[in-house]
Amino acid sequence: MSNWTIERELTEITGEQTIPMALTKLRVTTDSRLFLSIVVDEDWHRSGAETYCFSFTVRTTEADIPLVLKACVAYAPNTSAVAILDTWIERRRLLAANGINTPRLYSCAKACVLEERIPFSLVDVLIRASGEVKDLLLDRLAMYAGVLSRAGFIGIDAFHDLRSRGDDVVAIDFGEDLGPPQMSADRSADRLKEALEFLERNHVPHADAQRARMYQVFQQEESRHRS
């Protein structure tokens, strides 16, 4: 990849000849005239067992837009990386359809996704949060656990890589840590337990009343639309 550049990648993905037009076609920007420059924040690096990431920022006259190009390098016998990525896209769509926040997706091509880069780890945001914001974040975490339970996701660790924009909970990992849906028969207690263990493991302070509220939110979400 010695000749690879993010500028070349964007024009190849879109079939456009210029970066401003490519970004507009991807709907990263609304007008090609707004574009100023691209700043590389972090070159290709291993971001997990199944992905490599390239982080960059699109600078415009209106705002800086942090993005990440994520390459799938997962392996499964007789299955291409493109096919594996397709299953990840279906999982993220399922979560989004059930009210779970996911990064804005701009492109999926050549076993890579171009998406919004979510700025903060959920742990860091939770530790700093207080009052209504803290309550909201814990509610969203409990809701996430409820959706995982209801949809039957059973993976290695669906909580460790959660991110946040500052006032929400965003799922960014749709690989084996999340696992496939519709696999578990009834593991409702396990999903909530994992959420609470996530808080304990990361030393996120929370009161008994907040745990009780999480349990209530979880039960409501976990039982939603069940027959």
Instruction: Provide the residue-wise pLDDT of the chain in tens; the chain has 227 residues.
Output: 568 999 999 999 999 999 999 999 999 999 999 999 999 999 999 998 899 999 999 999 999 999 999 999 988 888 999 999 999 999 999 999 999 999 999 999 989 999 999 999 999 999 999 999 999 999 999 999 999 998 888 778 899 899 999 999 999 999 988 888 876 555 555 889 999 999 999 999 999 999 999 999 999 998 886 54
Q: What is the pLDDT of residues 176-226, one digit of tens each?
A: 888 888 765 555 558 899 999 999 999 999 999 999 999 999 999 988 865
Give yes or no for a contact between 66 and 41, defined as CB atoms under 8 angstroms apart.
yes
Residues 6+ apart with CB under 8 A from 79: none
Question: Which residue in 109, 93, 201 sits closest to 147, CA to CA?
Answer: 93
Secondary structure letter of residue 144 according to DSSP? H
Q: pLDDT at position 186, please?
A: 55
What token pair was written down for 77? 């016998």
Residues 209 and 218: their CA atoms lie apart, in Å, by 14
Per DSSP, the three-state class of 121 is strand
Beta-bridged to residue 39, according to DSSP, are: 57
> CA 94, CA 98: separation in Å to the nearest integer?
6
Q: Record the pTM.
A: 0.92
